[in-house]
Amino acid sequence: MAYLGNSARTKEILAKYNMSAKKKFGQNFLIDSGVLENIVEAAGVTDEDCVLEIGPGIGTLTQYLAEAAGRVVAVEIDKTLMPVLDDTLSEYDNVTIINEDVLKVDIGQVAAEYNEGRPMKVVANLPYYITTPIIMKLFESGAPIESITVMVQKEVADRMTEGPGSKDYGSLSLAVGYYAEAEPVCDVPPSSFIPQPAVGSAVVRLSRYEKPKVRVRDEKYMFEVIRTSFNQRRKTLSNSLSNNPALGVTREEIQAALEKMGMNEKVRGEVLSLEQFAELSDILQSRGAMLN
């Protein structure tokens, strides 16, 4: 079986199965062998690793992963791709395909079943329409995951890797930054895919911290503070946070908390670091109502 990572083979396979890429599943197949090699190298995949791939498509990245990893478990929602994957991955005996929506899969169970509960590396060219839910599920599930190396929309990659003060800084930067160190790997043009996406893409690597980056009394409360702050980005923190009844704090209490932190009462969320959000959340929570 020849590698799929080029335009001719990809078109050949799609024609053989009389298929075209499905927009509703965010299907954009990689046809650039250089990018595929970059992804596997950035993920640092070795034959000791069990890799979880999300959305194998016609098996393009899966082939590269199967060559490098000890085992690959790939979760694909599209049932019509099952016979294609049987064909394109027939030479590999270390690949398991699970035909399921990844958002419904118990990732901890996958690690238990295929990797004796040890941490897996996630590697994927993600379906862009559900990038954030997938990343948040991987982190919040508490499943054993060592790193996540993924192709995402360029704009989302920027949001994951930027810090306070940048226009791309927001709740995704903070959520990712709480769990992992985010590093850009490379930018990828639309011409590296069939069909070409309307937006630019980029590969990022998220290396999970052993423990979250900051200590906070109640992470759910902190993330509510963060979400509220960025929902109304141009408003001051005391305005936006006092408008959210779930936080149970008044404008005066927020201003007092900011003062205690040595910050101006007119400050906006976009300048606060993760550490500052954790501190603010702890102070506010000791004053406001507890979230259920």
Residue 60 makes contact with ligand SAM by CB under 6 A:
yes
Q: What's the token pair of residue 94?
A: 């270390």
Residue 202 makes contact with ligand SAM by CB under 6 A:
no
Residues, the chain, total?
292
Q: Are the C-beta atoms of residues 277 and 222 closer than 8 Å to each other?
A: yes
* Residues 209-248 contacting ligand SAM, CB under 6 A: none
Measured from the CB atom, the residue of 7 and 231 that comes closer to ligand SAM is 7
Q: In what order do the strands lie in the sheet with 50-54?
A: 95-99, 71-76, 50-54, 120-125, 145-153, 201-208, 180-188
Residue with token string 């508490």: 142
The bridge status of strand 29-30 relative to strand 193-194 is antiparallel
| DSSP code of residue 180 | E
Q: Which stretch binds ligand SAM (CB under 6 A): 98-106, 135-143, 244-252, 278-286?
A: 98-106
Q: Are the C-beta atoms of residues 227 and 219 closer than 8 Å to each other?
A: no
Q: How far is the CB of 98 from ligand SAM (least distance, A)?
A: 9
Cα distance between residue 285 and residue 281, in whole Å: 6
Q: Which stretch binds ligand SAM (CB under 6 A): 26-34, 139-147, 173-181, 280-288?
A: 26-34
Q: How far is the CB of 193 from ligand SAM (least distance, A)?
A: 7
Residue 76 makes contact with ligand SAM by CB under 6 A:
yes
Using Cβ positions, the residue closest to ligand SAM within the complex turns out to be 55
Which residue of 49, 78, 158, 279 would you call a contact of ligand SAM, by CB under 6 A?
A: 78
The residues facing 148 across adjacent strands are 122, 206
Measured from the CB atom, the residue of 14 and 256 that comes closer to ligand SAM is 14
By rule CB under 6 A, what count of residues binds ligand SAM?
A: 22
Q: How far is the CB of 64 from ligand SAM (least distance, A)?
A: 10
Residue 123 makes contact with ligand SAM by CB under 6 A:
no
Which amino acid would we find at residue 24? K
Measured from the CB atom, the residue of 101 and 275 that comes closer to ligand SAM is 101
Element (H, E) at 133: helix 131-140
Residue 269 makes contact with ligand SAM by CB under 6 A:
no
Measured from the CB atom, the residue of 13 and 226 that comes closer to ligand SAM is 13
The bridge status of strand 201-208 relative to strand 29-30 is unpaired
Which residue of 42, 45, 85, 102 would you call a contact of ligand SAM, by CB under 6 A?
A: 102
* Residues 35-54 contacting ligand SAM, CB under 6 A: 54
Q: Are the C-beta atoms of residues 208 and 147 closer than 8 Å to each other?
A: yes
Q: Are the C-beta atoms of residues 131 and 153 closer than 8 Å to each other?
A: yes
Q: How far is the CB of 124 from ligand SAM (least distance, A)?
A: 7
Q: Are the C-beta atoms of residues 84 and 58 closer than 8 Å to each other?
A: yes
Measured from the CB atom, the residue of 81 and 174 that comes closer to ligand SAM is 81
Q: Which chain residues interact with ligand SAM by CB under 6 A?
A: 25-30, 54-57, 60-61, 75-78, 101-103, 125, 127, 130
